[in-house]
Copies of this chain bind each other. A is one copy, B any other.
Amino acid sequence: MDTAKQRIIEVAGPIFAQKGFNSTTVREICSAAKVNHAAINYYFGNKENLYKEIVASIVTSMTPWNQETELSPPVEGISFEERLRALIFQRASGVFACELSQWKIQLMLREIHDPTPICGRRLLASVAEDYQKFYRFLDEYFTPETSDDLRWKFIFLMLGTLVHYKASDWLVRELVPESLRQEHFQAEHIASFIVDAFLAASKDCRRTETTGKTGTTGPGS
């Protein structure tokens, strides 16, 4: 079906992501969805409820990420390093993706950097949960002596760098020539650089009895 309500939801997400809640007008959404500008109040009660509904859909579409982080450790036969690479690559792909669902990342970043009181910390809590799962995932890697603050710093090093690439992508576009970007700044390149950097920087905190092969290739491009 191509109901008015569906059209509003489909159209509102990207607009909210691009301009933020306050700078997005009800009329703009409705004209983009080709419905009367009173339709939002009819279907959602008010503008905030529409926003909440969109945020909720983002949160639910994030759970696969969380689950993969959580379920990653028990896999047998795959070294920790490989699993870490897969995990970071997965996130990098999500962040760098030029897909249709790009606006979800955009809206998330917006809420991370400038939280809206509307979605009562649900999205924020979801992000924090993701970081925490990552923390637990790295437990397998670090020696027991590795302090908590160091662990968090390594996590912020990896995920923070990733977020920075997306959040200020204009900076990368402005600084790095087009040809370089096409060849060396795709999701796979960034992901593998981050993992390499992490492994090199944290090798003193690394458990020796890590399973699987541990040959790091060094921070090659």
Contact = CB atoms under 8 A, between A and B. Distances in A.
Given A149-B189, A163-B167, 14 more contacts: A22-B22, A113-B168, A149-B184, A149-B221, A152-B172, A157-B193, A157-B197, A160-B165, A163-B168, A164-B164, A200-B203, A201-B201, A201-B219, A202-B219
A115 interface: yes
Nearest to A18: B114
B194 A157 contact: yes
Contacts of A112: 167-168, 171
B190 A197 contact: no
Contact of A164 (B132, B161, B203): B161
B163 A164 contact: yes
Interface residues of A, number: 59
A131 interface: yes
Contacts of A109: 113
A34 interface: no
A99 interface: no
Contacts of A202: 219
Contacts of A132: 175
6 contacts: A128-B174, A147-B184, A148-B177, A150-B193, A160-B161, A200-B203
A115 B170 contact: yes
A161 B157 contact: yes
Nearest to A180: B149
Contact of A150 (B20, B160, B221): B221
A134 to B, nearest CB: 10
